[in-house]
């Protein structure tokens, strides 16, 4: 029998638990009020009687994650290393990143321990795949960051609340489809964080059938790890392309449901001598549907042992200018947290080796 996790338990499930233990059902709402603030420490739930806390201790998994370490970047970014609290398994570790800005606080969450896709320029891809996260372990990352911000707020010029979620941490979210979809339902649920789907972005390397199901089930903002619009190159840079090539990806993007004034983001890491030639630019211009998509050019964030180099700044800037001249929305993403290995493509748990 699966044990309910306090991180993911619903109001109805908690009310049923209260009933089965002859406790008032209104306690369920009190408990979830604490949980939704990020508070999972039972001792911190001041208006919850000890009898109720004992029931939670006995019948639920109170903590899905254990904080191992926290690092702070010079730009305010925070990186968290968590151990998964699983019975009868060696502890697995994941990383989560908080990216604070003036107007928002974005949590970058992981959906797998390691990654199965082996994209050669991504540090996470060099880590052995250790398994899928449960929905509870996915949403618990958000709760843990919320708790940390309560205890350790950001400086005055940065946001100290969680306002946005991006599935851009360790792993391929759509390779863990069932649990990721459950986690999306939780994050948007009225009795949970009640986030708008406009505040959630899921990034995928291009698992076409799963993209189509995401569009039907939970059409949140979509980001595609594109990195090249040339099939032969993408077979190497993003190996899933060998199964779902650019033609099938193009068809799925054409039909993905978009909210008003929203666009799919095409992520493109600029790699020197790999995908930054005029041929690459021309292919990218041909691939993009300007009415439905925007291009986010990403500076390559290096890591130990990498054979790749980032494109020169002027090359990246010229890419952006050329795209814009063709009527394509294009931006150059500013790296955040690279001094603590928390930037795009740098996540890899130290516990898994170097």
| Residue 209: CATH number of its domain | 3.20.20.70
Same domain, yes or no: 55 and 114 = no
In this structure, of 89-93, 161-165, 284-288, 340-344, the range with the lowest mean pLDDT score is 340-344
pLDDT in tens, 239-277: 999 999 999 999 999 999 998 889 999 999 999 999 999
Catalytic residue check, 95? yes
Smallest CA-to-CA distance from 44 within 117, 179, 188, 147 is with 147
Cα→Cα distances 228→55, 246, 279, Å: 53, 10, 10
Residue of 13, 41, 95, 232 marked catalytic: 95
Same domain, yes or no: 18 and 112 = no
Q: What is the mean pLDDT of residues 91-106?
A: 91
Same domain, yes or no: 41 and 114 = no
Q: Which of 34, 61, 88 is the last residue of a domain?
A: 61
- Local confidence band at 346 (pLDDT 50, 70, 90 cut-offs): very low
Same domain, yes or no: 40 and 96 = no
The residue segments making up the domain with residue 47 are 4-61
Same domain, yes or no: 231 and 179 = yes
pLDDT score, position 305: 72
Catalytic residue check, 41? no
Q: Which of 61, 87, 108 is the last residue of a domain?
A: 61
Give the Cα separation of 224 and 168 in Å (integer). Answer: 10
Same domain, yes or no: 100 and 191 = yes
- Local confidence band at 354 (pLDDT 50, 70, 90 cut-offs): very low
Element (H, E) at 316: helix 313-325
- Local confidence band at 121 (pLDDT 50, 70, 90 cut-offs): confident
Total domains in the fold of the chain:
2
In this structure, of 20-34, 79-93, 142-156, 160-174, the range with the lowest mean pLDDT score is 79-93
Average pLDDT, the chain: 91
pLDDT score, position 353: 38
Q: What is the mean pLDDT of residues 148-169?
A: 92
Residue of 108, 119, 122, 344 marked catalytic: 344
Q: Which of 12, 40, 61 is the last residue of a domain?
A: 61
Q: Token pair for residue 48? A: 């919850």
- Local confidence band at 331 (pLDDT 50, 70, 90 cut-offs): very high
Same domain, yes or no: 77 and 165 = yes
The CATH code of the domain that includes 17 is 1.10.150
Pairing of strands 105-108, 93-100: antiparallel
Strand partners, 222: 202
Same domain, yes or no: 51 and 178 = no
Same domain, yes or no: 51 and 142 = no
Strand partners, 80: 70, 96
Same domain, yes or no: 90 and 132 = yes
pLDDT score, position 334: 77
Statement: residue 127 has pLDDT above 80: no
Q: Token pair for residue 67? A: 């904080």
How long, in residues, is the chain?
354
Element (H, E) at 248: helix 246-255
Is pLDDT larger for residue 304 or for residue 17? Answer: 17
Q: What is the mean pLDDT of residues 276-284?
A: 98
Same domain, yes or no: 57 and 70 = no
Same domain, yes or no: 40 and 90 = no
Percent of the chain at pLDDT > 70 equals 92
């Amino acid at each position: 029998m699966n044990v309910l996790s306090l991180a993911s338990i619903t109001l109805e499930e908690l009310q049923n638990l209260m009933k089965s233990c002859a406790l008032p059902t209104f306690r369920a709402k009190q408990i979830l009020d604490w949980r939704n603030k990020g508070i999972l420490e039972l001792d911190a739930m001041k208006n919850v009687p000890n009898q109720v806390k004992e029931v939670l201790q006995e019948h639920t998994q109170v903590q899905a994650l254990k904080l191992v370490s926290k690092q702070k970047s010079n730009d305010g970014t925070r990186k968290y290393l968590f151990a998964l609290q699983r019975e009868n398994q060696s502890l697995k570790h994941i990383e989560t990143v908080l990216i604070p800005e003036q107007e928002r606080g974005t949590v970058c969450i992981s959906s797998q321990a390691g990654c199965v896709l082996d994209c050669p320029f991504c540090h996470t891809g060099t880590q052995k795949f250790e398994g899928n996260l449960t929905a509870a372990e996915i949403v618990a990352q958000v709760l843990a960051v919320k708790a940390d911000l309560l205890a350790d707020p950001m400086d005055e010029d940065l946001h100290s609340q969680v306002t946005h979620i991006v599935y851009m941490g360790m792993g391929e979210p759509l390779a863990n489809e069932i649990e990721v979809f459950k986690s999306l339902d939780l994050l948007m649920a009225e009795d949970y964080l009640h986030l708008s789907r406009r505040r959630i972005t899921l990034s995928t390397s291009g698992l076409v059938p799963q993209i189509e199901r995401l569009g039907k089930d939970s059409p949140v903002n979509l980001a595609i790890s594109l990195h090249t619009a040339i099939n032969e190159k993408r077979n190497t840079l993003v190996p899933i392309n060998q199964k779902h090539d650019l033609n099938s990806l193009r068809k799925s993007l054409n039909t993905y449901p978009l909210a008003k004034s929203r666009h799919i983001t095409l992520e493109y890491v600029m790699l020197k001598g790999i995908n930054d030639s005029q041929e690459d630019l021309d292919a990218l211009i041909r691939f993009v549907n300007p009415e439905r998509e925007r291009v986010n050019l990403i500076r390559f964030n290096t890591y130990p042992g990498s054979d790749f180099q980032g494109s020169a700044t002027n090359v990246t800037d010229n890419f952006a200018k050329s795209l814009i001249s063709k009527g394509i929305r294009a931006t150059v993403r500013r790296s955040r947290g690279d001094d603590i290995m928390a930037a795009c493509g740098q996540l890899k748990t130290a516990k898994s080796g170097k």
